[in-house]
């Protein structure tokens, strides 16, 4: 495959796609991004930004703005189900003491900041557009887009998420499918009481809940339901169901529980995971983000590794060389790290189903994972 990558198509405008768009465009590569949704945005409540995500956002040049519009902290408090404080741990960040160790913000806000940065840098974006077909050639990929146009690119990135169409188009029947875990995660957007001073986690009988501050007045509460209901309740029944699941907790969890009343406050989804075997490319098409490695939220790292994919690819493309060699180096830098996040998250999720028996194992695996993820990318 010839050397130069001047023009890249990114399919999907989530965290991995927009990170790649910023990282490639700033290296002088001409980036086009197509997003299936008519309005380019992000749904959902809040996102927790662990150390690697904070580092990635700094590398993308948006961390200060994210913290100004979100929240940051450097300690985590652990409580029992009654709401009694067990420990307060100092969290060591990856950026030095002048930065908070972890962050939290509304997903739509994070998306807006990243999207504005990409567009300001010159990334061209087409919404309500996807790919109809791809034809690989030694020196290019010809792509027919759903708006009827046909374009040629040096490289195509499938950044189109867990149920990636590009994965299906390029890897066909060899492509693994998302696998369910039998768990669900509930998240509710709440007013933040003054007593919630940082990341709070509460351990109940077989259930874990916690708060992530999103700003001075807002936070989100997550609840991991170890064995999901067969059918998730319709939106109008979700506040009552979440309150019912939370009824085993006392203290501040019980206080805020009563404010979970509106369907639009509550998001619930079953958890799936997927790990593509290496390599994640065929010819000139590479999968990044959840399309290649979708993880569950036990380590809160899916967004971090999605952002990192774009940054690493930008660095490698900037350093030149044959495209095939660049893609091989990309796999060397990304596969093991992402495999570890996905497999350790799945293991933690399995242990959550029998939490009492695996408390120590889970603590050890979490610490080992965070230590490994602190390494440079
Ligand atoms: C319940 C839950 C909680 C989580 N919490 C956290 C957390 O706190 N912290 C964290 O770091 N991570 C978290 N994650 C993981 C994180 O959200 C994902 O890993 C991350 O968003 C993946 O980004 P992505 O860009 O690869 O995929 P996506 O975010 O899925 O983006 C894919 C984009 O592609 C578009 N698209 C799809 N198909 C097409 C197509 N055919 N053509 C064009 N466009 C297309 C979609 O509309 C979308 O915009 C969580 C995940 C879950 C499920």
Ligand 1 centre and the CA of 186: distance in Å?
Answer: 16
Q: What does the pLDDT look like over 210-257, one tens digit per residue? A: 999 999 999 999 999 887 777 889 999 999 999 999 999 999 999 999
Q: What 3-state class would DSSP assign to 140?
A: strand
As a whole number of angstroms, the distance between CA 152 and CA 88 comes to 54
Would the pLDDT of 196 be above 90? yes
> Residue 361: its pLDDT value, please?
86
In what helix (H) or strand (E) does residue 373 lie, and over which residues does it extend? Answer: helix 355-373
User: Which stretches of 241-346 are assigned E, i.e. beta strand?
Assistant: 266-275, 281-282, 285-287, 293-294
Write the Ramachandran bin of 6: left for phi over 0, alpha for psi from -120 to 50, otherwise beta.
alpha
Ligand 1 centre and the CA of 154: distance in Å?
Answer: 25
What DSSP string runs through 282-329?
Answer: ETTEEE-GGGTEE--GGGS-HHHHHHHHHHHHHHHHHT---HHHHHHH
Name the β-bridge partners of 90. 75
As a whole number of angstroms, the distance between CA 274 and CA 162 comes to 7
Which one of 32, 48, 126, 290 would you pick to mutate in the ligand 1 pocket, going by the greatest count of ligand atoms within 8 A of its CB? 290
Ligand 1 atom nearest to CA at 309: 26
> Strands across the sheet with 131-137, in order?
131-137, 140-145, 150-153
Ligand 1 atom nearest to CA at 212: 8
> Residue 353: its pLDDT value, please?
76
As a whole number of angstroms, the distance between CA 78 and CA 62 comes to 30
Minimum CA distance residue for ligand 1 atom 10: 303
> Residue 230: its pLDDT value, please?
78
| Cα of 157 vs its chain's centroid, Å | 17
Pairing type for strands 266-275 and 179-191 reads antiparallel
Mean pLDDT of 197-209: 88
> Residue 3: its pLDDT value, please?
55
Contact (CB, 8 A) for 159 and 245: no
> Residue 312: its pLDDT value, please?
98
Predicted model pTM:
0.96
Lowest mean pLDDT among 110-124, 145-159, 358-372: 358-372
Pairing type for strands 124-126 and 30-34 reads parallel
Pairing type for strands 285-287 and 71-73 reads unpaired
> Quick one: pLDDT band at residue 111, thresholds 50, 70, 90?
very high
| Tokens read off for 61 | 């040049």
In what helix (H) or strand (E) does residue 181 lie, and over which residues does it extend? Answer: strand 179-191
Mean pLDDT of 349-367: 81
| Cα of 29 vs its chain's centroid, Å | 25
How far lies 216's CA from each of 40, 71, 161, in Å?
Answer: 27, 7, 31
Would the pLDDT of 355 be above 80? no
Would the pLDDT of 92 be above 90? no
Name the β-bridge partners of 220. 189, 212
Beta carbons within 8 Å of 365's beta carbon, 6+ residues apart: 344, 347, 348
What DSSP string runs through 210-240?
Answer: EEEE-SSSEEEEEEEESS--SSPPPGGGHHH
> Residue 2: its pLDDT value, please?
43
Omega within 30 of 0 (cis) for the link into 301: no
**Number of H helices and number of E strands within the chain?**
10, 20
> Residue 356: its pLDDT value, please?
67
Quickly tell me which residue has 């997550």 as its tokens.
Answer: 222
Ligand 1 centre and the CA of 162: distance in Å?
Answer: 7
Average pLDDT, the chain: 93
| Tokens read off for 333 | 């830098």
Residues near ligand 1 (Cβ within 6 A): 11-17, 34-37, 47-48, 53, 130, 159-162, 165, 185, 269, 289-290, 297, 300-304, 306
> Residue 12: its pLDDT value, please?
98
| Tokens read off for 5 | 């990558």
Share of the chain above pLDDT 70, in %: 99
Ligand 1 centre and the CA of 294: distance in Å?
Answer: 8
Which one of 71, 306, 349, 369 would you pick to mutate in the ligand 1 pocket, going by the greatest count of ligand atoms within 8 A of its CB? 306
Would the pLDDT of 55 be above 60? yes
Contact (CB, 8 A) for 12 and 42: no
> Residue 29: its pLDDT value, please?
96
Name the β-bridge partners of 179. 273
> Strands across the sheet with 285-287, in order?
124-126, 30-34, 7-11, 155-158, 285-287, 281-282
> Residue 89: its pLDDT value, please?
83
Minimum CA distance residue for ligand 1 atom 35: 12
Minimum CA distance residue for ligand 1 atom 25: 14
> Residue 1: its pLDDT value, please?
46
> Residue 207: its pLDDT value, please?
85
> Residue 320: its pLDDT value, please?
84
Phi, psi of 206 (to 5 degrees): 70, 10
> Quick one: pLDDT band at residue 359, thresholds 50, 70, 90?
confident
> Residue 163: its pLDDT value, please?
97
Ligand 1 centre and the CA of 290: distance in Å?
Answer: 6
């Amino acid at each position: 495959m010839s050397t130069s990558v001047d023009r890249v198509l990114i399919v999907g405008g989530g965290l991995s796609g927009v990170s790649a768009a910023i990282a490639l465009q700033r290296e002088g590569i001409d980036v086009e991004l197509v997003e299936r949704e008519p309005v380019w945005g992000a749904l959902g409540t809040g996102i927790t930004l662990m150390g690697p995500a904070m580092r990635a956002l700094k590398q993308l040049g948006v961390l200060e703005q994210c913290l100004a519009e979100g929240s940051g902290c450097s300690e985590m408090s652990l409580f029992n189900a009654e709401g009694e404080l067990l420990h307060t741990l100092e969290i060591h960040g990856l950026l030095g003491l002048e930065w908070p160790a972890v962050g939290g913000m509304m997903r739509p806000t994070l998306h807006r900041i990243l999207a504005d940065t990409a567009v300001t840098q010159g990334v061209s974006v087409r919404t309500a557009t996807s790919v109809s077909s791809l034809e690989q050639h030694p020196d290019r990929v010809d792509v027919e887009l759903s708006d009827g146009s046909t374009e040629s690119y040096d490289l195509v990135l499938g950044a189109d998420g867990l149920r990636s169409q590009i994965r299906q188009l390029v890897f066909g029947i060899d492509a693994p499918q998302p696998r369910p875990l039998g768990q669900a995660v509930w998240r509710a957007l709440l007013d933040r009481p003054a007593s919630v001073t940082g990341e709070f986690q509460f351990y109940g009988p077989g259930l874990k809940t916690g708060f992530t501050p999103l700003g001075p007045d807002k936070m989100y509460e997550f609840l991991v339901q170890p064995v999901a209901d067969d059918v998730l309740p319709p939106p109008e029944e979700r506040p009552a169901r979440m309150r019912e699941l939370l009824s085993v907790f006392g203290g501040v969890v019980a206080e805020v529980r009563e404010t979970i009343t509106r369907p639009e406050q509550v998001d619930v989804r079953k958890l799936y995971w997927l790990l593509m075997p290496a390599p994640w490319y065929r010819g000139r098409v590479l999968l990044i983000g959840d399309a290649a490695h979708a993880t569950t939220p036990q380590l809160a790292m899916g967004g971090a590794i999605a952002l990192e994919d774009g940054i690493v690819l930008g660095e490698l493309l900037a350093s030149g060389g044959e495209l095939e060699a660049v893609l091989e180096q990309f796999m060397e830098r990304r596969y093991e790290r992402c495999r570890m996040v996905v497999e350790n998250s799945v293991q933690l999720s399995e242990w959550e189903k029998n939490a009492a028996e695996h408390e120590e194992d889970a603590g050890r695996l979490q610490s080992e994972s965070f230590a490994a993820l602190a390494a440079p990318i």
